[in-house]
Structure 1
Amino acid sequence: MDSASPSYQGHRYPAELSAHAVWLHHRFPLSFREVEELLLTRGVLVSHGTVRQWCARFGPEYAAGLRCRRSRAGDTWHLDEVFVKVNGVRRYLWRAVDQDGNVLDVLVRSRRDAAAVKRFPAKLMKKQCRVPRVLVTDRLRSYVVAHRKLMPSVEYRQSKYLNTRAENSHQPTHQREHALKGSRSTTGTQRLLSVFSATSPHFRPRRHRLTAPQYHAEMHRRFATWHQITGSTSLPSEA
């Protein structure tokens, strides 16, 4: 097991099983009950509650491991916001991506005022330990305030036509809407999307730019990284 992998001490099931369940839930638009059903087809009998516990316990650690192995983010940051439903109530999801489409961070808030807008870039700069060379947003006026207060020296571009990269990054989240509706709190949604934003893109290389052999080699490398992070070796075997 890799020295940086989570501790599974005291858990009944092996690392391979919990890692596979977390991967299924965050890589595909599957609910906990659907993951339970897929595991049952492999002869593994666990409840959807156990799958939920695995995702809550191990998901953040897996996501942190993936982030540590990512290459340095680009110097052009695209910020955008979108509506999501949390327990039937509308919330705002803020997302930042670089010029290559890599997700830098996400933040779920109940409001879309200037205070919320300023909090997100501040959190992002703290994580990245730097400011971008270029900041791109849509025409929401609160972004202007955030730029003026937090990073006045950064080149700022505000246009709905320049921010399609961030808008496209929201698409996988829309596929998770059913899971978001099942979350009862903004904190729970924030936790879910933080793990999802690190896990799902890891297994989504730009396939249209790769030949079949290149794609298979890239996916093999990414699964190898996943096994190192999770401390697993392979998928669980059928009973």
Structure 2
Amino acid sequence: MSVIRTDRWLEEDIDHPVKICEKLEPNFKGHDAVGIYRILTKFGMYKPTKGTRGVYEGLKEKDTWECVEKIYQNYKKKWDGPNIPIYIFPTYQSSGLFSRGERLKGGVSFPDKLFLFLSDKVAPQDVESLFVHEYHHVCRLNMQNKSFEDYTLLDSIIIEGLAEYAVLVNCGRQYLANWCTMYSESDIQYFMEKYLKDNLGKKKMEREHDELLYGGGGIPNMLGYSAGYKIVERYYQTNSYSTKLSFTTPSKKYIVELIEFSRENPD
């Protein structure tokens, strides 16, 4: 598989995204088109507005589908990554919380597919950094051999931290998501003790999992993401980095850095 020509789908049915999602039903077992669209809009897929077609035309003018294909083939070879379909759609143009906390782009990954939601104003380097983040997810999800229901909060914060560390290594610090530097180390230490330490075993389907990962309701914004990046960053200050090993290293191994962080920075 490769980049799917969703531009052709959009050309015909851009004002009817649920109809577009009917084409995705074979890849989403147990979900109909309405359910698929509901899932994708949570991560940034567009909702039809007067400006949506203009975004689509802008993406076409930039040869976005061809550019993402080149990026995909590069990292697939570089990382010996899985062969998956990649779907590109315009992003929702109103303010919102996307998977990397940014408004010009968003994405969501599954073991067998990847979605990118893009504005026509997003720079090519930012498209690559988003792809690196999401494709790292795909690679790790495949190598961990773990069912969705068994993923814990620890697994989630580590997978996010690792994906953004891959952005640092492959794209540069200037392309890191803003949540990587949202809080100071002392803030993270405090939040770890107050919110995360006793909840790392929360399963993905439990309510507290997403509250702690994304923030909200009194919990600091993007807490799990930010803590995950800090944990991973500290780990690689004392351990050599290998992208391929980052796909297979168990989440629990990184928690050693969390423990050491607390010991080195007592209240």
TM tier, shorter chain?
A: under 0.3
TM-score (norm 2): 0.24
TM-score (norm 1): 0.26
The structure in which a higher percent of residues are strand is 1
The structure in which a higher percent of residues are helix is 2
Q: Tell me: higher relative CO, structure 1 or 2? Use CA pairs within 8 A at least 6 residues apart.
A: 1
